[in-house]
Structure formats: structure tokens, C-alpha cells
Amino acid sequence: MSDLRIWISGSRGFIGNYLVHALKDSCHELRCITNNKVSGDNLIYIDYSGKNHIREIINLYGLPNIFIHLGWGSVYEPQSNIHLTSNVSNGKNLIRELFSCGLEKFIFLGSSSEYGDRKGSLSENMGPKGKLTNYAKGKIEVSSYGFEIAKQLNKIFINIRLFYAYGAGQHHKSLINQLYKSYLEKSTINLSPCEHYRDYIYISDVINGIRLISNINESAIVNLGSGRAIKLKEYVNLFWKYFGGEADLPNFGSHPKPHNEPEQPYCYANLDTLKRLTNWTPSVSLAEGIKETVDALNRSSTSQVF
């Protein structure tokens, strides 16, 4: 990837931070893009809604080979209307203008929530089923548009359907950070029954996956998960065990599962497409990932973790 020019949106988020660190020494030019008017080293503001502004930035900095679109507003509010309005219109505008200017490959970070409440092994050729959050609806709309435009213009559009990524450095309201805070303070953490399932993939596998998927030279939907499901209660208990917290502090069932969360039945990523296109599948076990996460949190406990 040493001769590549890559632009990344959402570079200051959980996944973006790791991805920028992984790519910064392995590509010719890496630029971090934002639609928020903020300053910072190697951070470029683009008005995603403005055709002319996108073209001005391309004229100023040149065209990247690959655009990786991680940025997406209000990810912690899955029913927010922003997922059906500005997130969609901005995503479509970026895709259209970048492809029109000559971009060859656009990589879009989608979500396992695009499957809805399907059960079992989830393959990329499956459509959504059941009730969808606005977040999932927005991702599906942008992805569909990307494939359509890519086909018209003979470009490459890749939708990475990411399952549940975890690791140190997540948002302060994340489950992991709330568990860690409870452990440090020796305080009770009130939880839902946690009887639903998730396919968790450790952050290092997420980054390796994105890097390898970036080398694919055909349009595709690609699952990126661990390929296995675990009940959320078991996941919490594993973290608590590695923390060494007092056994009775996680209070399961103290409140119902949040109404805005999807059903999350027993399901997991089918990784056949990922393996076929990259000759790779995630390798970090859940036990290894949790241990590495806990070790990283402990190393950072004197800094601002939460």
C-alpha cells in the first residue's frame, strides 16, 4: 500500500484512531477528513453536502486512490432522524462527487444491523428482515446508492458489514468502559437481562480486516465479524472475571433491554466472502481480545479513560 493515497472520514472515532495509526507508515499519503469545522494536524474539513466544496478540496490536495468512509453521525442514537436525513444525503453526495472526479474505490463502513433480526449464519446475499433501526435503514440506503453509482461509472464500491467491534478506547458510555468504571469504584452496575446475542470482533482484527478488504478490486458486500456468537451476559461475565471484580456487582435484569436496541437473536457473521476475497479470517479469540482490552485499560487507568 506504499504508493496509495488514502482519505479517511471518522478518523477520530474508536475504529478510525486505530486505523490511522495502522496506515500512517504504510501508505504514501494519508489524510483525515471531517465535516466538522475543527482544526488539527492532517485534518481536512469538507462540507459533505457541498458539491463545489468537495471539488475544491480535491483540486487543492489531489484525488485519493481510496476513500474510507467511517464517519456517521449519532451512532449511539440508532433511532435518530439524522440517519435518514443528513447522514444519507452526505454519504450519497460524497460517493457521487468523488467517483465523478475520478476516485476508483470507495469503502463504506456498514453494519450487521443491516440484517435486521435474522438468525443463524448471516451471509451477504441476505436482505434485511424484521424491524430495522433508522441507523440500519440509513446504512442500507447509502450502500445501495454506492453500488448503483459504482456500476454506472465502472468504479469499485465496498460495503463492510461490521459486527460488534470491541477494545480499549471506545466511547466513554460503552459497556466496557462502564464495566471498568464499576470495577474501579467497586460499585453496582445495573444491566438488562443481557440474554441477547452478539458477534464480537476484537479491534486488531477489525483493522487487519479493513486493510485487507481495501485491496479488493471488485465491488462487494463483505462481513467483518468473528464468525461466532456469544450471549451478552456471558460476555459481561468474562470481562468481569478478567477485571477481578466482586461477583455480585453486575446486577443483571435490573431494567429491561433498551427499546431502541434490535432483537439481536442468535446470529453471527458468515465469513466465506471475506475468506474468498482476502484469504484471511479473524484470528483473535474472545479470551485473548478481552485480556488485551483489560490490560490496555489497566495501563491507562491513571489517564482519562472514561
Query: Over 60: is that where the pLDDT of 302 sits?
Result: no
Q: Encode pLDDT of 117-126 as tens digits.
A: 999 999 999 9
Query: Over 60: is that where the pLDDT of 303 sits?
Result: no
Residue 305 is predicted with a pLDDT of 43
Residue 304 is predicted with a pLDDT of 47
Query: Which range, 22-36, 37-51, 225-239, 260-274, has the best average confidence (pLDDT)?
Result: 225-239
Q: Encode pLDDT of 244-279 as tens digits.
A: 999 889 999 998 877 766 678 999 999 999 999 999
* Better-predicted residue by pLDDT, 173 or 260: 173
Query: Over 80: is that where the pLDDT of 190 sits?
Result: yes
CA distances from 296 to 111, 167, 168, 181, 186 (A): 26, 9, 6, 14, 19
Instruction: Report domain 5-166+201-227+269-282's class.
Output: alpha beta
Residue 27 is predicted with a pLDDT of 79
Residue 39 is predicted with a pLDDT of 62
What number is the average pLDDT over the span 293-299? 95
Query: Over 70: is that where the pLDDT of 2 sits?
Result: no
Three-state secondary structure string covering the chain: CCCCEEEEECCCCHHHHHHHHHHCCCCCEEEEEECCCCCCCCEEECCCCCHHHHHHHHHHHCCCCEEEECCCCCCCCCCCHHHCCHHHHHHHHHHHHHHHCCCCEEEEEEEHHHHECCCEEECCCCCCECCCCHHHHHHHHHHHHHHHHHHHHCCEEEEEEECEEECCCCCCCCHHHHHHHHHHHCCCEECCCCCCEECEEEHHHHHHHHHHHCCCCCCEEEEECCCCCEEHHHHHHHHHHHHCCCCCCEECCCCCCCCCCCCCCCEEECCHHHHHHHCCCCCCCHHHHHHHHHHHHHHCCCCCCC
Of the candidates 277, 293, 283, 178, the residue with the CA atom closest to the CA atom of residue 223:
277
CA distances from 16 to 129, 130, 246 (A): 29, 30, 34
What average pLDDT is seen over the chain?
A: 93
Query: Over 50: is that where the pLDDT of 130 sits?
Result: yes
- Sorted by where each begins, the domain ranges of the chain are 5-166+201-227+269-282
Return all residues near 28 (Cβ < 8 A) that are at least 6 apart. 2, 3, 4, 5
What number is the average pLDDT over the span 207-220? 97
Residue 70 is predicted with a pLDDT of 98
- pLDDT-based confidence at residue 41 (cuts at 50, 70, 90): low
